[in-house]
Chains A and B, each alone.
Chain A
Amino acid sequence: NAGVTQTPKFRILKIGQSMTLQCTQDMNHNYMYWYRQDPGMGLKLIYYSVGAGITDKGEVPNGYNVSRSTTEDFPLRLELAAPSQTSVYFCASSYSGDSYNEQFFGPGTRLTVL
């Protein structure tokens, strides 16, 4: 099992550009999550999905969009990138949403918006 994979590992964007961060898991997990991690701050939930075709907003969804067309993939779309979106982005997955199933994290994507 590869677990949770993310691409790209690093990316530099100019203000106003768009991009998609890719996330794939091979553990047949129903739940998937996108977090951002900023220096000195805890992980903040951007969006989550409880299954294919179902997504919902987390704590900081503004400026982002997601889709979940398959169980395996959960891409995060940034439209009109802004410097405030400079961060490290982590995708995670879990079998279910309850506390008996821990979240597995990907290696992260470090994004800089200049």
Chain B
Amino acid sequence: EDQVTQSPEALRLQEGESSSLNCSYTVSGLRGLFWYRQDPGKGPEFLFTLYSAGEEKEKERLKATLTKKESFLHITAPKPEDSATYLCAVQALGSGTYKYIFGTGTRLKVLA
């Protein structure tokens, strides 16, 4: 069964304290892996798409990496405005419907 698991569920960091969020996945065939940011009371906002093992993408303090079984979202020197829930999703091959499977997210809190 296709599955996406994110860890940890919640993470508290001091401002400037770098860390990583994990997204492990099991799918029959990977079309792409997505990272989204979701602020309270809002819809998810797209961050990155990764397509193949070894690929990396960066945006400001965030860097996403991908292996054959998992992806990491590295946060370098985070600031309080980075506080949000970070969602991982995979797009799997399957019956032509391009289905997306979302993880349950990691709630990040960055303290000043």
Seen from chain A, the residues whose Cβ lies within 8 Å of a Cβ on chain B are: 4, 40-45, 48, 56, 58-59, 90, 92, 97-100, 102-108
Contact = CB atoms under 8 A, between A and B. Distances in A.
B43 A106 contact: yes
A108 B42 contact: yes
Interface of B: 4, 31-32, 34, 36, 41-46, 49, 51, 87, 89, 91, 97-105
Contacts of B87: 42-43
A90 B49 contact: no
B104 A4 contact: no
B46 A104 contact: yes
Contacts of A48: 97
B102 A103 contact: no
Nearest to A3: B43
A42 B102 contact: yes
A96 B32 CA distance: 14
What secondary structure prevails in chain A residues at the interface with B?
A: loop
A100 B46 CA distance: 12
A102 B46 contact: yes
13 contacts: A4-B43, A40-B104, A42-B87, A42-B102, A43-B44, A43-B100, A48-B97, A90-B43, A99-B49, A99-B98, A105-B43, A108-B42, A108-B43
Max chain A Cβ within 10 angstroms of own Cβ: one of B44, B46, B97: B44
A40 B97 CA distance: 25
A99 B104 contact: no
A42 B99 contact: no
Contacts of B89: 42-43
Max chain B Cβ within 10 angstroms of own Cβ: one of A40, A58, A102: A102
A98 B102 contact: no
